[in-house]
Amino acid sequence: MEHSHSASYAAAGVNIEAGYEGVRRMKKHVERTFIPGVVSDIGGFGGLFAPDLSGCAEPVLVSGTDGVGTKQRIAQLMGRHDTVGIDCVAMCVNDIICCGARPLFFLDYIAIGKNDPEKVATLVSGVAEGCVQAGCALIGGETAEHPGTMAPDDYDLAGFSVGLVDKAKIIDSGRMAAGDVVIALPSSGIHSNGYSLVRKVFDVEHCDLGATVPELGQTLGDALLTPTKIYVKPVLAAIAAADVRGISHITGGGFYENVPRTVPDGLCAVIEKAAIRTPAIFRILQETGKIPERDMFNTYNMGVGMALIASRTTADAALDALKGFGLDACVIGEIAAGEEKVRIC
């Protein structure tokens, strides 16, 4: 690649040499994620991974894809690009863990107005950190320079993950029953959903994101950029320790959209608001934007990044497993007969 250069392409706004430099700079971050099974290094046409299928009678691949959304605008305004990659990984791996799958590998895609090798490498460092937290490998990706269609400082970050689960161990909500317990896994904040409303409420294009908010103990910008919590390892431990019958990743759409995706017909997850430990950022957001409470629960996680439903007799084992990973998990409700799927009271 050292002899690859196109003056005509460069005149059109695409610097392929900057792309090569970006790959060189990100390599050390990518190598942090390598786990057994990685076959190829970055730079090829495809990422190769040889999964260990021992002990897996009927392997099933599970995939998930997502992006960071408009949260990355906060990163652009603050000039901080090392955390949104964690969000990108989290939004994918937290989805596939809901059926009990262990993430194997991840690929990212960065569209950028002007290829800045250092910025791209910093973005990938966040992706790599997310992969390390999830225990999966970053085996490939793509950076595309989009002159004329994006402003030079703009970028969009997305990705996808592939995981593995034994068919017999897929989380089956068909076994869910009245009396099962709903366990909240605490979020780290707003995570990566509802940021179009966040940006409108706080007028982020004009406010001082570097101003400290006493109630938060940090700047508004830092609070809004707090990375999404990655739940893979603690959830796998909870699945191994308890009879887990349903898992909901509380993303865009909040409780009212995500919990019903796990609860079968004829049952209802009854959630007690008083039991939810809601971080201060949500109250500040609600009061500043005069947002109705139902809209908050229909848009944000409100402090519950993931809801795990376990049999009552094994709920304590699930809680112990989660707390072993430093998660201050707690019971916030139970499953009851009903047609609503979810009721917050």
Residue of 29, 172, 206, 41 lying closest to 98 (CA atoms): 172
Q: What percent of the chain has pLDDT over 90?
A: 88
Could you tell me the pLDDT band of residue 10, with boundaries at 50, 70 and 90? Answer: low
Helices 71-78, 84-96: axis angle to 10 degrees equals 160
pLDDT tens column, 118-172: 999 999 999 999 999 999 999 999 999 999 999 999 999 999 999 999 999 999 8
Total-model pTM = 0.93
Residue 150 DSSP code: B
pLDDT at 8: 53
Residue 198 backbone phi and psi in degrees, to 5: -55, -50
Query: Is a pLDDT exceeding 70 seen at residue 100?
Result: yes
pLDDT at 41: 72
pLDDT tens column, 162-208: 999 999 999 989 999 999 999 999 999 999 999 999 999 999 999 99
Q: What's the CA gap between 74 and 77, in Å, rounded?
A: 5
pLDDT tens column, 241-278: 999 999 999 999 999 999 999 999 999 999 999 999 99
Q: How many CB atoms lie within 10 A of CB 79?
A: 8
Our measurement of the distance from residue 178's CA atom to the centroid of its chain's CA atoms, rounded to an integer in Å, reads 30
pLDDT at 43: 65
pLDDT at 40: 74
Beta strands 218-219 and 59-67, pairing class: unpaired
DSSP line for 36-91: TTB---TTSSS--B----TT-SSEEEEEEEEE-TTHHHHHHHHT--SSHHHHHHHH
Could you tell me the pLDDT band of residue 29, with boundaries at 50, 70 and 90? Answer: confident
pLDDT at 16: 59
Residue 244 backbone phi and psi in degrees, to 5: -90, 125
Query: Is a pLDDT exceeding 80 seen at residue 11?
Result: no
pLDDT tens column, 63-97: 999 999 999 999 999 999 999 999 999 999 999 99
